[in-house]
Chains A and B, each alone.
Chain A
Amino acid sequence: MTEHLKMDQVQPRLLDETEQGALHAPMPRPEGPLKVTGTATYAAEWKLDGMAEGFMVRAGITKGRFKVDASSVEDMPGFLGVYTDRMVRNSAQGTAGTNPVQPGDQVQYLGQPIAVAVADTFEQARDIALALKVEYTPDDDAHVVMDDSATYEDDDDALDQGDLDAAMADAAFSVDGMWTTKPHNSAAMEPHATLAQWDGDKLTVRSSLQMLNYNKHEIADSLGIDVKNVRVLSPYVGGGFGSKLGMSPECVAAAVAAKALGRPVRVVLHRNHVFETIVLRTETRQRVRLSCDAEGKLTGIGHENWQANLPDEGMAEPVDLATHLLYGGENRRYGQHVAMLNRPASGSVRAPGEAVGMLALENAMDELAEKVGIDPIELRVKNIPDRHPENGTPFSSHGLKACLEDGAERFGWSQRQAPKARREGEWYIGMGVASAARLNLLMESRARVTLNPDGTALVQTDMTDIGTGTYAILGQIAAEMLGIPAEKVTVELGDSDLPEGPGSGGSWGAASAGSAVFLGAKGIRKKLAERLGCGADELRLQDGVATGGNNRRPLAELMDGPISEEGHLEPGQTDDDFTQSGFGAHFAEVAVNAVTGEVRVRRMLAAMAAGRILNPKTAQSQVWGGQIWGIGTALTEGIEHDPRTGHVVNNDLAEYHVPVNLDVGDLDVMFIDERDDQANPMQVKGIGELGLSGAGAAITNAIYNACGVRVRDYPATPDRIFPHLD
């Protein structure tokens, strides 16, 4: 049976009435013991009889045509084959559900996957791949720099409301600036890997992917086979951050080779391949304009951006996503210009849009506050709109003011001084603040919940846990709804044969997959209520005992066998009628070295309003992740492309600097108590990307407060600070 809900109207807050106490508890992850003992099995760790090893071959030119000469390597030890069929240009975009570009013999960027070399062992395959002779016919029209001579695709529908130019001209105070951010890599610690196995027409792919409900279609489409014949398994995913939203190139390479050889083939991407063939976050140039009256009330906002991608990707970084809803101001203008370049494809990396857009917007707000001469928190609070400033819909809930004010209190914001006023030895100390916002999304989801008479339960969905805590929270939701301890619930994820969940991405996992589990369990509650002879709303379930209508019976007595229900959630009217967003405030205290310009983040606080918090332990870890990614975007991360070839120069973990332990100061996280009734039947909102939105801007604003240097070009490496120190 299916318990279906289309989210057309507010649902009762059932989870505030249930009594098990499994939810809202900081429960350690149930799969933790497997992870800390190295017994959780990631994609590259499956072994199958007769398995061969593949190693990807990358294009050595930027643009042109190629031809591989397999005879150049066929005498090498262990050689099994070199395959180029159906090779995809790069990983699929998130939620594509179709094949990525399959360019045949065309090369469109340096590092593009062009073939896979397969041998008996990994070492042999790697040597063959490196020795393989490839003949190139280069084109001379490659374009790799985002400059004026590039071809841009403009967003013709960009909003232009009122008259921003006039607002800027009439403003009492204004900011008009250009910001730049370098490309970012997700750099999940587990490289993408696939083990493909055919059984007749049926293909099983063990891979590291975030969205099996889309990935199975991407794989089928790329191979030209029926999706019914594809099974994808990703029970453990070693981090995703967007890089595993879409099927990765080695999925197709392994499947093609396995078919040709009649044996399972495993292909693990080399770290360099991850940097080149998996979508990265585009570089951006952003022009932000703010105008306000003498009191600091905004009259206009402009946010225009320039970015880059390969042709035919159909994805642009939504740089202005939060700008649309965060602050009021009648006159508003946006613009998006995507340069078509021969460089690795751009796509989703954690918090697409806000991760970079909020750097510029929130720096500009800091600059404006200084011009107006008011506290940056006051400026922000003053400009919180009553309704969405463009489409006029009401907000489902709005925690920004509380986050800014409660956060300020907890952080000790009142201790903040004027720029350069606080110095400890050779270090300037400063504080910064920034708002956070992340649009809240709900996706269609299904999950099967089964309750057994012995008081155990099973939750099944093709949803993934990429480190986000899915195993924990889905078990907690089922336990809470069914009135059994969370340890009694087994959660099965990451198998595309299970009911279709939403996939992990867009911070919609907990709300969407969680609601499907909630509904499945709700269906079971209805049955139990019937059997107990009470109304569903009278039913109380706790520790395996059902109470209601003057009856009290253990589950075992109510059930003669397992009860299984599928929960099915669809987004509905509340999505259109309300603007739904998580909000937050980031605070940072930094030290800037007065001689070298080196920045140390001493402490940060994230105050987050994201609806009901299902598990404060895993939610806190998500926010820590956001804060630390904020440190990376503010201070250390940036891909460098060779301006001659587009080559990713820093294509490994030594040269691309993700934050390390010592880069991170003391992190504090607080959740504002909130229920978002319009969001979903559980009143929760996404948290994983909200934690990053604005985090980096709080750091650069703190840099200014410390040493008086405004950084508009990210990352704020010492060379961008010390020349301006006096």
Chain B
Amino acid sequence: MQITLTVNGEDRALDVDPRVTLLDALREHLNLTGSKKGCDHGQCGACTILLNGRRINACLSLAVMHDGDEITTIEGLGQPGNLSPLQAAFVQNDGYQCGYCTPGQIMSAKGMLAELDMGWPSNVSADLTDIPDLTRTEIRERMSGNLCRCSAYPGICQAIEDAATEEGMTKREAAE
């Protein structure tokens, strides 16, 4: 089937089997292997990308459902030598070990910060109507869809805290 995806700001025309997931369309058809496949089942978060600005698991969606959609992958954030604030903070804080979950963590963090910035509450927010702060607990809760078996969670949280302001967290100071 013919579809066009806008990937990292560029229109990409594709002819895909309807069984192809959005993740495989990126990895196999567009050769954007930065998005990882850890489970292919929506269980690990390694394939997290931004779809029209929101984070999703790309393995849980079929490519043909996304004709005309805007997609941001890790390749769209920065390159070696020109890292985005989050990417640089992950390097600085050792927010990874093997690196396999890392693009998903970073894309998820990007989406998560935007959600926080919009005032979305989470399961650990004290109040559903109050605007939540960027606390360590909020980060942990909101990043719990991204597994890291190397267990770099402390570094991941620190990296997110360090980069939050530069990543455009406008409304609130990082707290806790």
Find residues 88-111 in chain B having any chain A CB closer than 8 Å to their own CB: 88, 90-92, 94, 96-103, 106
A18: Cβ under 8 A from any B Cβ? no
Q: Give chain B residues whose Cβ lies under 8 Å from the Cβ of A381.
A: none
CB distance A189 to B144 under 8 Å?
Answer: no
Residue from A36, A45, A241, A664 with most neighbouring chain B CB atoms (10 Å): A36
A residues within 8 A CB of B75?
Answer: 37-39
> Are A122 and B24 CB-contacts (below 8 A) given A188-B98, A239-B150?
yes
Query: Please, which residues of chain A bring their CB within 8 A of the CB of B24?
Result: 122-123
Q: Is A467 in contact with B97, judged by CB distance below 8 angstroms?
A: yes
Chain B residues with Cβ below 8 Å from A621 are: 94, 97, 150, 152, 155
Q: Which of A95-103, A137-145, A329-337, A622-630 contacts B (4 or more CB under 8 A)?
A: A622-630
B97:A239 contact, CB within 8 angstroms:
yes
Kindly report which residue of chain B lies nearest to residue A629, judged by CB atoms.
B151
Identify which of B26-34, B113-121, B125-133, B165-173 touches chain A. Answer: B26-34
Does B9 make an interface contact (CB < 8 A)? no
Decide if A664 touches B43 in the complex (CB within 8 Å): no
- Name the B residues within 8 Å of A72 (CB-CB): none
Cα of A617 to Cα of B39 in the assembled complex, Å: 29
Q: Are B151 and A625 in contact (CB under 8 A)?
A: yes
Q: Are B35 and A42 in contact (CB under 8 A)?
A: no
Interface size on A, residues (CB 8 A): 63
Tell which of A27-35, A312-320, A490-498 binds the partner.
A27-35
Cα(A1)–Cα(B163), bound, Å: 48
Question: Which residue of the partner chain B has the closest CB to A626?
Answer: B151
B38 within 8 A of A: yes
In chain B between 134 and 160, which residues have their CB closer than 8 angstroms to a CB of chain A?
137, 139-141, 143-157
Q: Interface residues of B, CB < 8 Å — how many?
A: 64
B99 in complex: contacting residue of A40, A617, A624, CB < 8 Å: A40
Known A617-B94, A620-B94, A653-B147; judge A189-B44 contact (CB<8 A).
Answer: yes
- Given the known interface contacts A37-B74, A237-B98, A664-B154, the answer about A123 and B20 at a Cβ–Cβ threshold of 8 Å is yes
Task: Check if B94 sits within 8 Å of A37, measured CB to CB.
Answer: no
A238 to chain B, nearest CB (A): 3
Is A33 within 8 A of B83, CB to CB?
yes
Q: Which B residues are in CB contact (< 8 Å) with A238?
A: 36, 98-100
Decide if B94 touches A191 in the complex (CB within 8 Å).
no
Q: Which single residue of chain A is at the shortest CB-CB distance from B104?
A: A189
Residues of chain B contacted by A663 (CB below 8 angstroms)? 144
From B139, B151, B155, give the contact of A659 (CB < 8 A): B151
Question: A618 interface residue, CB < 8 Å from B?
Answer: yes
Q: CB-CB < 8 A to B91: which residues of A?
A: 28-29, 32-33, 36
Decide if A417 is an interface residue (CB 8 Å cutoff).
no
Q: A270-B40, A625-B151, A653-B43 are in contact. Are A39 and B97 (CB under 8 A)?
A: no
For B137, what are the chain A residues with a Cβ–Cβ distance below 8 Å? 662
The verdict on B55 contacting chain A, using a C-beta distance below 8 Å, is no
- Interface status of A466 (Cβ within 8 A of chain B): yes
Partner of A36 from the list B27, B46, B96 (CB cut-off 8 Å) is B96
Question: Quick one: given A32-B90, A36-B83, A38-B103, are A661 and B140 in contact (CB under 8 Å)?
Answer: yes
Given A37-B78, A239-B98, A624-B151, 14 new contacts (CB under 8 A): A35-B102, A36-B83, A36-B87, A37-B83, A38-B33, A122-B28, A186-B149, A189-B147, A627-B151, A628-B151, A652-B39, A652-B41, A652-B43, A663-B144
Which residues on A are within 8 Å of B, measured CB to CB? 28-29, 31-42, 44-45, 47, 121-124, 127, 186-191, 236-241, 268, 270-271, 466-469, 617-618, 620-622, 624-625, 627-629, 652-654, 658-664, 666-667
Top-10 shortest CB links A-B: A38-B34, A238-B100, A467-B98, A35-B99, A467-B97, A628-B151, A32-B91, A33-B80, A38-B74, A45-B33
